[in-house]
Structure 1
């Protein structure tokens, strides 16, 4: 029996019986907050919206549905607080951020539980996100004290040239649901370190993590108005977003989400010429060359593809495997999927694959699988939608570039494999996209590693590595994957402006 036929004969994953149990988030959870947070106070709204557990569809909390009025209050509070926060010394801001980091680590289990229930991640991944999220507070608490200007040699003897770095002002922070904690701290930590103040609009699916961060920020000593959170429903999001992107008191917007939404926000911000950071869509290629260590490539593929059930912006989306190792890679990958992946509620021990965020997300994956099969692809693993928004991790072979799954970002546990013959062919396929966030490849040929790294049209490259995010490194893309960088020593520059000071009239 060939390896491919062996894989087809195996049973696909099934939702465990434990999923029939009832799961609920304890209403007495120590970090569960359900009101907006503006100017250091918990702010009720005229109405509320439900937050659902994506694994069960059950309501876990009702949260204040803030509108334009609350958003404007938050902007005004942030603007007022900016004038005092920016005058704090870099060391004072550093101490506050460090305390916030320590509180996050002290409460990491409680924070992880919120992520699991509102986002669907397994607890092991949620704990990992909390540590990753806190690491940005730690990193930028240190970078706050390293915002250096320049003294530039002057062409005139009676002048001195100085370049000063100053905070831009109020920043609107608009974040996605897939990393409901880390996508906030990656932006907010840099902003506060620079001396800016912020208004955060979390995703309507996952506001609880943002509100928990507000609770800990207050305990850490973040002054009123410096960190504000305005949760809102999907229905009110456009109106709230308009305030955050058009109010003249807002100096900068930072957004993580789809390319289409990012373009709309940029248009709104254009009238007041706001500074903007955009971390937008990805469509990452994952290339396995004949020279690769196949076992390491399989491990990298598992880590890159199935983390958060395939719902990450740097998740590998198109798998290109050279003919010489194609069958061995597919065989070993299928076996790894059987051995390592287990569907279930994120709070259930042993779960590695939670649900997709909602039924629309599951329907998108089903559509991509159906399209691929109708065009000749073969399902070797999974392929089925289960209860609610659960999707079986799916392995496809015989995939071509005409199929939708190779043209559009999936955001789900679908792994399509394209066979290729030459390095040039792989690069042409990998670069045939209008986005370029991350890319991955496996090779043991040093010359090839340099060639491919330089040729890939992406902002981040993982070489023999499937996970690359860390606060020390610059995170950002090219093409329509966005503007600006997050993390690293460059991340704080997004919240600073350079002022040129010409000091004249000096006696030579």
Structure 2
């Protein structure tokens, strides 16, 4: 395979940015494409000093936006969704060029943005409170929900625009402005997405400062975390990052919504449909070159079928087309960069030292053609037990195969990792499925039956437990994170009875 030339990718990026309304100003920081390891563009970064000014502008916008009726706020998000539809291919192109996603996955990420806009528009008419029975006659007790304040978003490279949109679409209908610090590895798609929202804001007459993007390094993220003007800080990244972010936000009594590491497993029982199982495993484990937070990293297979499942998956891996993500037919694109490659090789070496056997994969492709691009063969590794390397997340396409005998043993293996994001079971037995879904089954935030661990829909809340951080984004009642609750008591009795039978007469 011949990888695209640098000028070809630069031209594609420039055209996509222009159509989205971005007039790119060159700066001193290169944006490097993992497709060929060469620069796509250069940008000027903002610094920590720009953060408070952005937060102040957002605070000013909040004072206006919180008084706008929620269905009217939904009209802005509706228009944003329309613009995303118009520019779906442009945004997908930028996602592919910046983070190496194959075209269908990049388009799928933009479709997630469109979907969350549709969800949020409906939500704008469903920000329901409740009425509660009061113990006092002539009183009404109720709950109401109000806009919270400025929302700060720190997103990771692997979903450079979708995760921001999950937060932003819901925050906007809830009455909150957003200040976004995207990954420094993927600023172009962020600028394009933000430009489309800016256009919608202008067309709808919404206040300036409602949406802002800050392109910069870790100092920008740290300033956003520490800003007292940020009411909710939503951060996606590693568990290590979450350990730094959570306490700092808590120290200033802010709210945090953390989406951190995953070490996701599938249990395969003897009753599973192995054709369906193989397809589910391969997409979840090798898709996005193993760089999803929901990537399947462990497959826990009953001893009666472990050899067959391993052989099926290894054979499928041997057929995977690896190469340029913008070339038709490719299923596995590049790793984001050299550090990811080094981490993968170190994990494979550690797995061997802990008794593992690399069944297939692990090698590098196109190193001579593109020494600064890192294409790898997804690896399958059989392990005798769940060792230290298996319990640690490696953000690369390594799938560890573990045997089990009883379903209780399989569930214990699934849960015996620090992370708790996504899990699944492949089975034809309803009782096995229900056991996995039960309170003493999988301890993850996402628990699936007969599908893989990745590919969540926006209608359900997304997030996980334990070192995954406990946050919930996207669907269901995740909107409550972006609002504040007030309990209201209305006395229309003309008397003043006190609760709990208290008497206090003056």
The SS at the match of 1:18 is: coil
**For residues 272 and 141 of structure 1, do their structure 2 counterparts lie closer, same or farther at Cα, with a shift above 3 Å needed?**
same
**Is 1:174–2:154 an aligned residue pair?**
yes
Shift of 1:374: 2.9
Structure 2-normalised TM-score? 0.91
Partner deviation per Cα, 1:149-177 (whole Å, 9 max, x = no partner): 12222222233223110011001111100
Distance 2:131 2:161 in 1: 38
**For residues 258 and 398 of structure 1, do their structure 2 counterparts lie closer, same or farther at Cα, with a shift above 3 Å needed?**
closer
Q: What aligned pairs does 1:415-434 form with structure 2 within 5 A after superposition?
A: 415-434=399-418
Shift of 1:269: 1.0
**Is 1:366–2:345 an aligned residue pair?**
yes
Partner deviation per Cα, 1:190-245 (whole Å, 9 max, x = no partner): 11110001100001101111111111112222531111100103xxx1x2223212
Instruction: Give the aligned length.
Output: 480
**Is 1:392–2:377 an aligned residue pair?**
yes
Shift of 1:505: 5.1
The SS at the match of 2:425 is: strand
The SS at the match of 1:211 is: helix
Partner deviation per Cα, 1:372-426 (whole Å, 9 max, x = no partner): 223332222222133232111112224432251x121122111221122221221
Confirm or deny: 8 A CA contact 1:366 1:385 kept in the other structure: no
Partner deviation per Cα, 1:273-328 (whole Å, 9 max, x = no partner): 00111111111111111111111110110121112111011111111111111122
Shift of 1:501: 2.0
Shift of 1:468: 4.4
**Is 1:463–2:449 an aligned residue pair?**
yes
Question: What residue number does 2:360 align with?
Answer: 381
Partner deviation per Cα, 1:416-471 (whole Å, 9 max, x = no partner): 21122221221221111121111111111111111122211111111100144111
Question: What residue number does 1:162 align with?
Answer: 142
Distance 1:43 1:497 in 2: 38
Question: What residue number does 1:78 align with?
Answer: 58
**For residues 348 and 249 of structure 1, do their structure 2 counterparts lie closer, same or farther at Cα, with a shift above 3 Å needed?**
same
Distance 2:111 2:36 in 1: 26
Confirm or deny: 8 A CA contact 2:20 2:195 kept in the other structure: no
Moved over 6 A (4+): 42-45
User: 196, 212, 215: which is aligned to 1:231?
Assistant: 215
**For residues 32 and 437 of structure 1, do their structure 2 counterparts lie closer, same or farther at Cα, with a shift above 3 Å needed?**
farther
Distance 1:489 1:219 in 2: 28
Distance 2:411 2:18 in 1: 47
Q: What aligned pairs does 1:48-447 form with structure 2 within 5 A after superposition?
A: 48-221=28-201, 223-233=207-217, 237=218, 239-339=219-319, 341-386=320-365, 387=367, 388-402=373-387, 404=389, 406-447=390-431
Confirm or deny: 8 A CA contact 1:407 1:433 kept in the other structure: yes
Distance 2:382 2:18 in 1: 44
Confirm or deny: 8 A CA contact 1:170 1:196 kept in the other structure: yes
**Is 1:24–2:31 an aligned residue pair?**
no
Confirm or deny: 8 A CA contact 1:279 1:481 kept in the other structure: yes
Confirm or deny: 8 A CA contact 1:34 1:208 kept in the other structure: no
Confirm or deny: 8 A CA contact 1:201 1:231 kept in the other structure: yes
Confirm or deny: 8 A CA contact 2:391 2:418 kept in the other structure: no
Confirm or deny: 8 A CA contact 2:16 2:94 kept in the other structure: no
Distance 1:65 1:227 in 2: 18
Structure 1-normalised TM-score? 0.90
The SS at the match of 1:199 is: strand
**For residues 28 and 118 of structure 1, do their structure 2 counterparts lie closer, same or farther at Cα, with a shift above 3 Å needed?**
closer
**Is 1:499–2:503 an aligned residue pair?**
no
Which consecutive unaligned segments of at least 5 residues does structure 2 have? 368-372, 496-506
Partner deviation per Cα, 1:61-90 (whole Å, 9 max, x = no partner): 112211112111110110000011111111
